Chain A
């Protein structure tokens, strides 16, 4: 799976932007609960 790096630590707006972008790409976004629609935070 590709690695997407953001300005940390977790909890920043950058993390949120990274997750938003990842969510639009199936190769980046993999929600641990299939299609639950929630944000997954690493």
Chain B
């Protein structure tokens, strides 16, 4: 059963506090980069782990109330990430419009539906339909291949190995000296373990102290990943495995859809 949460905090805490079994949270976008709050919430709740990921193509649409034209739009409402992913479009087509942040793209659509005069939302196709808006322009994101990666969080056991897994790790180096991070990364390189993402976040202790979020291919219960983790742990002052999980992907989702579909909505037609 899928249920909505009010904020990213609520979504993650629902799992951490046992009010929900699983949570879906955005982690990174191909245009705008990471979602820092998701990383921070992962650290804040050591009892939760990453159990899956979903990589979703993201198409943004400009929508307004019935009868409102593009020329009448003075205010564009959306989630800050959506506004940022349409920056070039807005500069070109609506340079005078005021950009107003909303809690989500669906919330933006609801707000425009409540007070439509002179306003438009950057939102999903599903929200356009749900809130009775009219599409002004479709697929306005600055890059056609706009993709967001969501992680799935849970509390239970580590998902079993599938042979097509990833592992997420967060750590800090043992000391601030030349080569500290290199020595850690070297343990992956010498074992031919492919890193898929590395990102630093302030440790929130003092200026210049960082945590490194590292994703790589492989499962923590298989070699050579196990050996790499054993080698890395003594090189860190903070070390936490955030989870091992089956690799997601647009292709995997599409295959599933194609394999099961006998009619009805296709992935390409879903809320953009």
A4-B2, A5-B5, A15-B4 known; A10-B130 Cβ under 8 A: yes
Contact: B2 with A22, CB < 8 Å?
yes
Contact: B24 with A4, CB < 8 Å?
yes
Contact: A11 with B109, CB < 8 Å?
yes
Residues of B within 8 A of A18 (CB): 2, 24
Residues of B within 8 A of A35 (CB): 260, 262
Contact: A21 with B130, CB < 8 Å?
no
Interface string of B1-36 (1 = CB under 8 A from A): 111111110110011000111111110000000000
Q: How many A-B residue pairs have CB under 8 A?
A: 154
- Within 8 Å of chain A (Cβ to Cβ): is B136? no
Contact: B24 with A36, CB < 8 Å?
no
Interface size on B, residues (CB 8 A): 52
Q: How far is the CA of A6 from the CA of B14 in the complex (A)?
A: 10
Main secondary structure of the interface of B (DSSP, over half): mixed
Contact: A2 with B21, CB < 8 Å?
yes
The segment from B50-58, B181-189, B203-211, B229-237 found at the interface with A is B50-58
Q: How far is the CA of A19 from the CA of B270 in the complex (A)?
A: 11
Interface residues of A in 2-42 (CB under 8 A from B): 2-24, 28, 35-39, 41-42
The segment from B88-96, B119-127, B193-201 found at the interface with A is B119-127
- Within 8 Å of chain A (Cβ to Cβ): is B256? yes
Contact: A16 with B124, CB < 8 Å?
yes
> Which single member of B22, B109, B124, B271 contacts A3 (CB below 8 Å)?
B22
Contact: A5 with B127, CB < 8 Å?
no
- Within 8 Å of chain A (Cβ to Cβ): is B148? yes
A residues whose Cβ falls under 8 Å from a Cβ of B: 1-24, 28, 35-39, 41-42
8 nearest CB pairs, A to B: A8-B4, A38-B264, A11-B127, A11-B106, A37-B261, A2-B21, A17-B150, A5-B20
Contacts A10-B4, A14-B24, A17-B24 supplied; 13 other A-B pairs, CB < 8 Å: A3-B20, A5-B22, A5-B23, A6-B2, A7-B104, A8-B3, A12-B127, A15-B271, A16-B126, A21-B24, A24-B253, A37-B260, A38-B264
